[in-house]
Structure 1
Amino acid sequence: MIKFKLKFLWLDKSLAFALDEKIGEKINPITEYFFWPRTDAWEELKIELEKKNWIQHSESIEILNQTTEIINYWEEKNTKNIKLNEIKEKFTNCTFINHN
């Protein structure tokens, strides 16, 4: 997923994510932020990816699988005092920001 970069806002009560495209050194936003669990953010991302016919199906699957993995990790770890550096080390191809 070198061409695309998932960005996550790691919050206490929600996890927000958006997708950017990397073109050379430039980064262009592709989607807005989707908030989990406030809405079915995974499904919203899937619908948004389907609208973008220039994104290959295999790339969409990879993006959605990575998003699923991080949502599951957030659900497991969010009640614990986890450090942002731990998250960044586990998911090196994504960008993470927290509220602190």
Structure 2
Amino acid sequence: MQPPKKTYLFKAIWGKNSIGLAVEKRLRENITSPVTTYFFWPSENGWKLLKNELYNKPWVTDEERVELLNGYNKIIKYWLKNVTRNDEIIKLLKDSEEYNFELSGINSGI
């Protein structure tokens, strides 16, 4: 049996020189709603921007904020280790469940 899906997930745009991450809220099976815009790392301090944006969302609990900020860091570290592996899409998609993100796109030019 699979564990229950988390309330929030990250959408990722995987690039060669940066990664864009946005937060979405799961409403129902396969239906999500955007919570934040995309933050592109390393060109922005995405963690700080995400933190500020989450604090402006009164429905996001403190526990959820901590989980999302930790998740952001976890995905950035994963990206740093695997940034050159654009050709290994199957591994990336498999790992996406563990890291609680969905791949929105790959752009080797950004």
Matched position secondary structure for 2:43: coil
Tell me whether 1:99 sits opposite 2:107 in the alignment: yes
Q: How does 1:10-89 map to 2 (within 5 A)?
A: 10-25=14-29, 26-80=31-85, 83-89=88-94
TM-score by length of 1: 0.88
Query: Structure 2 length as normaliser, TM-score?
Result: 0.81
Is the contact between residue 12 and residue 101 of structure 2 (CA under 8 Å) also seen in structure 1?
yes
The ranges of structure 1 where at least 4 consecutive aligned residues each deviate by more than 2 angstroms after the TM superposition are: 79-82
1:38-88 deviation per Cα after TM superposition (whole angstroms, max 9, x unaligned):
010111111111111110111111111111011011112213555122122
For residues 65 and 87 of structure 2, the distance between their equivalents in structure 1, rounded to whole angstroms, comes to 29
Structure 1: gaps (5+ residues): none
The count of aligned residue pairs is 100
Partners in 1 of 2:89 and 2:28 — Cα distance? 27
| Percent of residue pairs bearing the same amino acid type | 30
Root mean square deviation, CA, Å: 1.8
What SS does the corresponding residue of 1:10 show, helix, strand or coil? Answer: strand
